[in-house]
Amino acid sequence: MTRKLLALLTATTGALALAAGVGLAQAQTPAQPQGAVLAKNDYADKASWLCWPGRDDACAGDNTTTVIQADGALAVETWAADPKAPVDCFYVYPTVSNDPGVVSDMTANAEERRVVEQQLSRLGAKCRVYAPLYRQFTLTALRALVTGGALPGGAPRPNTGYLDVVDAWNHYLAHENDGRGVVLIGHSQGAGVLTQLIANEIDGKPVQDKLVSAFLIGTNLPVEKGGKTGTFKSIPLCEAADQTGCAVAYVSFRADAPPPANSRFGVAPRQAPNMEAACVNPAALAGGKADLHAYLASAGNLLGSSEEPQPWVKGGPAIETPFVSAPGLLSGACVRQDGFHYLAVTVNADPSDPRTDTIAGDVVQNGVIAKDWGLHLIDVNLAMGDIVGLVESQGAAWLASRKN
């Protein structure tokens, strides 16, 4: 795949969500001057990192979960980070910044902190977590772009966010890695940035030996139709829980609301007609349908969604933990339909039991579900437990391979 196509993929792999009811007036604050060259960030400064091992930051939050069985029975599942985790996780977050310009600043606001609470901090039980701040394409600019308005101010140099992540990655390798295995994790814009990083800096290079696995979620990772490689030449899609040096990628839609013809997710770029978007089910790497081990937010708006979750147990007590897990409620399978390749998520509703029969997670604009976005908001949450399990098993396999 050409660098031009990779850059296009990075720019168009979507963003976290379109917030409802925000007009272009908010998007007109001047940003950097056209063609401005932004100075490099100093990733030796811990303030340039959203999450850093052992620090009391956004990744040190509460992951306590209420487990809700089909009969409505509740149990509390505790959680603790492991400061001696055997491998590392390097994470790039999705489009969340509400900063006024085309690219964000380097200050962690509530939206950046919230996304790592949902998508990353739980992994701290299995890996040391590193999450650099980076000057991403903002949600403000995305709203303007999608609604047909002008981008706020002028665009700075191309690929600012990507170049920031490359700098952060190189700092991590030089000063923190110390020969450890590393899992790469990204969602949406973050997954697109990591796709470019892997293709340019890792695939086929000596550093690939450190790669435990890559989770590129909420992005259209092009692979050969029916194949396991494409964008990456020597990093295939994962097929087993003890496989290393492989990638997991998917986008998610409700099984009863498949991608409409105008969806931006689940398809390879038009410039790659012999490719399709990768879909690897974290709960069933070899294929087929399986229950998803989801960790969903128990209350409140989830990462920009305007939906409020329904009561988790009809007539039951309020849930007081930040997360819920409902065994057997959700299942998923990768399907090909109408030119799309995606994770079809089924809610296994049973109106006769007291547990909820629905979940929140759709992108809603002015009270209308944006069907072309699918379940993009909760791509990671839907399979978080499965991802945690894979980080553990693939990390153990990577370590075992070093002892042989």
Task: Specify the pLDDT at position 131.
Answer: 98
pLDDT at 338 over 60: yes
Q: What is the reported pTM?
A: 0.90
Query: What gap in Å lies between CA 400 and CA 404, rounded to an integer?
Result: 7
**Mean pLDDT lowest for which of 19-23, 79-83, 139-143?**
19-23
Task: Specify the pLDDT at position 22.
Answer: 24
Tokens 């990744």 label which residue?
59
Query: What gap in Å lies between CA 229 and CA 246, rounded to an integer?
Result: 10
Residues 136-149 have a mean pLDDT of: 82
Q: What is the mean pLDDT of the chain?
A: 88
pLDDT band at 321 (very low <50, low <70, confident <90, very high): very high
CA dihedral 125→110→118→342, nearest 10 degrees, is -140
Per the CB < 8 A criterion, the answer to whether 350 and 343 are in contact is no
pLDDT at 11 over 80: no
pLDDT tens column, 193-223: 999 999 999 999 999 999 999 999 999 999 9
The distance from CA 196 to its chain's CA centroid, rounded to whole angstroms, is: 15
Q: What is the CB neighbour count within 10 angstroms for residue 22? A: 16
Task: Specify the pLDDT at position 147.
Answer: 75
Query: Coil, strand, or helix at residue 175?
Result: helix
**Mean pLDDT lowest for which of 174-178, 299-303, 368-372, 382-386?**
299-303
Query: What gap in Å lies between CA 68 and CA 73, rounded to an integer?
Result: 6
Tokens 């509460």 label which residue?
62
pLDDT tens column, 56-106: 999 999 999 999 999 999 999 999 999 999 999 999 999 999 998 889 999
**Mean pLDDT lowest for which of 19-28, 84-93, 149-158?**
19-28
Task: Specify the pLDDT at position 156.
Answer: 57
Q: What pairing do the DSSP bridges indicate for beta strands 222-224 and 87-92?
A: unpaired
Residues 323-330 have a mean pLDDT of: 97
Task: Specify the pLDDT at position 339.
Answer: 94
The distance from CA 70 to its chain's CA centroid, rounded to whole angstroms, is: 28
pLDDT band at 154 (very low <50, low <70, confident <90, very high): low
Alpha-carbon dihedral sign for residues 94, 98, 100, 106: negative
Task: Specify the pLDDT at position 27.
Answer: 23
pLDDT at 192 over 80: yes
Written as one letter, the residue type at 21 is G
pLDDT band at 141 (very low <50, low <70, confident <90, very high): confident
